[in-house]
């Protein structure tokens, strides 16, 4: 299903800093700069993208060519929490997702990369996104 099929609840676009971060295995010695601080153990971050929360799903698309990065149906989200020790980073755990071509290519070849978890670089909008996701998924903090 396309995002246009559902009502858009929240939308955030970035040009320079990554908005979605895909975690690497622990102690991988990888670092990503989010615009304010660094986050360790990240395989790659997606910048120049738009994060969209609709009434049915959380998705991210590249701003150029509108390529899908990731789509997670709200009923598949299992946990929503702030990332410990990081300001503006929301951690999302989920059962299943639809990965776009770019994501599949970036994550291919390394089976030890954890699946089912992403980090959202929301900055000052973190609390608004967190509350909306908690309400829409029916989860508690």
Instruction: State in Å, rounded, how far the first CA of the chain is from the last one.
Output: 28
What pLDDT score was predicted for residue 110?
67
Instruction: Give the residue among 94, 5, 17 at the shortest CA–CA distance from 52.
Output: 5
Instruction: Give me the pLDDT at residue 38, please.
Output: 84
Check which CATH number belongs to the domain holding 48 and give it. 2.30.29.30
Selection from 47, 41, 48, 44 nearest residue 107 by Cα: 44
Q: What is the pLDDT of residue 71?
A: 96
| pLDDT in the model for residue 101 | 83
Per-residue pLDDT at 2: 55
Q: Which domain holds residue 80?
A: 3-137
Q: Which residues of 110-133 are buried (b: 16+ CB within 10 A; e: fewer)?
A: eeebeeeebbbbbbebbeebbeeb
Per-residue model confidence as pLDDT tens for the chain (141 residues) = 455 557 999 999 999 999 999 887 777 777 788 888 888 888 888 999 999 999 999 999 999 989 999 999 999 999 999 998 888 999 999 999 998 887 887 777 666 666 789 999 999 999 999 999 999 999 987
For the chain, what is the domain count?
1
Question: Which residue from 108, 78, 91 is spatially nearest to 41, judged by alpha carbons?
Answer: 91
């Amino acid at each position: 299903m396309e995002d246009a099929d559902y009502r858009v609840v929240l939308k955030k676009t970035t040009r320079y800093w990554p908005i979605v971060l895909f975690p690497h295995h622990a102690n991988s010695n990888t670092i990503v700069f989010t615009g304010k601080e660094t986050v360790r153990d990240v395989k790659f971050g997606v910048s120049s993208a738009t994060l969209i929360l609709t009434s049915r799903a959380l998705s991210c698309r590249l701003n150029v060519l509108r390529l899908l990065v990731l789509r997670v149906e709200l009923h598949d989200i299992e946990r929503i929490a702030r990332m410990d020790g990081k300001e503006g980073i929301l951690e999302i755990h989920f059962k299943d997702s639809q990965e776009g071509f770019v994501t599949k290519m970036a994550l291919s070849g390394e089976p030890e990369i954890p699946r089912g978890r992403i980090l959202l670089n929301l900055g000052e909008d973190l609390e608004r996104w967190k509350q909306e996701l908690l309400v829409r998924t029916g989860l508690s903090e």
